[in-house]
Amino acid sequence: MNAEVGTQVIVQARLGSTRLPGKVLLPLQGQPVLAHVCRRASAASRVDRLVVATTDLPEDEPIVAWCRSAGVPVARGAALDVLARYLAAAEAWPCRQVVRITADCPLVDPGQIDAVVSLLSEGGFDYVSNLHPPTLPIGFDVEAFPLTVLQRVGREATLPSHREHVTLYIRELRDHFRVGNVAFGRDRSAGRFVLDHPEDYEFLRRLFELIPASMHLPSVYELLRLVDGHPELAAINAGFDRYEGVRRSAGGEQRPMKV
C-alpha cells in the first residue's frame, strides 16, 4: 500500500486523442510533452506527489513505460470514464486533496497550482480553480478539490459527459458546492497554451524555441510576455473554442451545457 499524502496532482493522460493522436508523447525540446507537464506540476511547493492516470488500453502502454523510466507514479483505469480513473488513481496512491491537470498542458504554471491549492486548503471550499471565470489562456488551467468531494461526485454523477469530464458535474451544479476561484488580476484569457490541434503543436514548438536556456521554469508572466512580444505566434492557433471537447460531449446528450 502506498503512503497517503496531503495534496496530490493527478495528470490524466492517454494517446487516443481524436484531434491529435499521440499528442502527450510528442517531443518538445527533446522531451515528451508529458515530461514537461510532470516536471512543471511537480515544482509546485504545495504538491506532495504527482501521479499519471492513464487508461487500461494496450495503446497506452508507452505512457506506462515512460512513467516507469522517469520514476513517475502511474495508475491505470477506464478510458472514457475518467472520473472512475481518477478515483482508481487516488485509491492506488492515497491522498487527501487532488489537483487535476491534463497532460496536454506542457506549460502548466507551478505558481498557479500553489495559489489554487492554498485557497482550497485555507478557504474551506469543495472546489477551487482558476477557471470561473478564466483570466488566463487555456493551458494554465488548474482545479483542486478534497478527495471526499471527488468521491461524492463519483457516487452522484451519471451522465456520460460528467464521467468523461471529471469536474463538469461540479461546474454545472456549482450552487450545490462551495466554489472558489483564483483570478490573474486582469483578463488574459485569450490565447491557447494547450495541445489539442496540429496548430497548437506548431505554436508550442515555436514558443519553446524562444525560451532562453537560462529560464529553467518560465512563469506564466514570462510566457505571456514572450508571446506578447511575438504576436505572430498567437495567430497560429487562434480561433478554436476553449470548451470544444466539453461541448461535444454535452451535445451528444442533446442538452445545454453550463461551464
pLDDT in tens, the chain (259 residues): 899 999 999 999 999 988 899 999 999 999 999 999 999 999 999 999 999 999 999 999 999 999 999 999 999 999 999 999 999 999 999 999 999 999 999 999 999 999 999 999 999 999 999 999 999 999 999 999 999 999 999 999 999 999 999 999 999 999 999 999 999 989 999 999 999 999 999 999 999 999 998 898 999 999 999 999 999 999 999 988 776 666 666 566 666 666 6
The yes or no reply on domain 5-252 and CATH 3.90.550.10 is yes
Residue 15 CA to residue 23 CA, distance in Å, equals 7
Contact 82, 161 (CB under 8 A): no
pTM (predicted TM-score)? 0.94
Residues 6+ apart with CB under 8 A from 50: 8, 9, 10, 11, 38, 41, 42, 72, 73
**Of all helices (H) and strands (E), which one includes residue 114?**
helix 110-123
**Cβ within 8 Å of residue 5, ≥6 positions away:** 48, 49, 93, 94, 95, 96
Q: Which three cell numbers stand for residue 199?
A: 496548430
Domain ranges of the chain: 5-252
CA distance 95 to 91: 8
